[in-house]
Amino acid sequence: MPVSKALMAALRARDGDVCAWSGVETDTLVPHHRANRGAGGFKGADRLSNLVLVDSIANGRFEADLQGKAKLLGFKISRYADPESIPLFHKVWGWVLLKDDGSVIRCERD
């Protein structure tokens, strides 16, 4: 189930055309769910705090060889965690909290 057009527009407005993982401007960006949706399509996953734009190749690698690093940097979180409270290391912005209203708050990691 793809991200809705409205949510994708809000995600693009927040993230622009830059991969949060690499910091590179690219036209191969896809929405990445920090907490996986799972096979049934977990409804709580489609919210701005749980989404970030990343290059399609990095997105696939988060489930393979980059999984450990993605967890350390907040790109992969527990499906039971509140994504608004889990910092993410954005390659351009540094450590941030992503909010459901589309805002980005710079923070320090605990």
Per-residue model confidence (pLDDT) at position 41: 54
**Burial class of residue 40, CB neighbours in 10 A (0-12, 13-18, 19+):** exposed
Enumerate the β-bridge partners of residue 33: 51
Beta-carbon count within 10 A of 27 CB: 6
Please indicate, yes or no, whether the overall pTM of this predicted structure exceeds 0.85. Answer: yes
8-60: pLDDT as tens digits: 999 999 999 999 999 999 999 999 999 987 655 566 688 999 999 999 999 99
Per-residue model confidence (pLDDT) at position 37: 74
Separation CA 110–CA 101 (nearest Å): 23
Question: Which value, in Å, is the radius of gyration of the alpha carbons in the chain?
Answer: 13
Hey, what are 38's tokens?
């799972």
* Domain interval for residue 89: 5-106
62-102: pLDDT as tens digits: 989 999 999 999 999 998 899 999 999 999 999 999 999 99
Separation CA 7–CA 95 (nearest Å): 23
Count: domains in the chain: 1
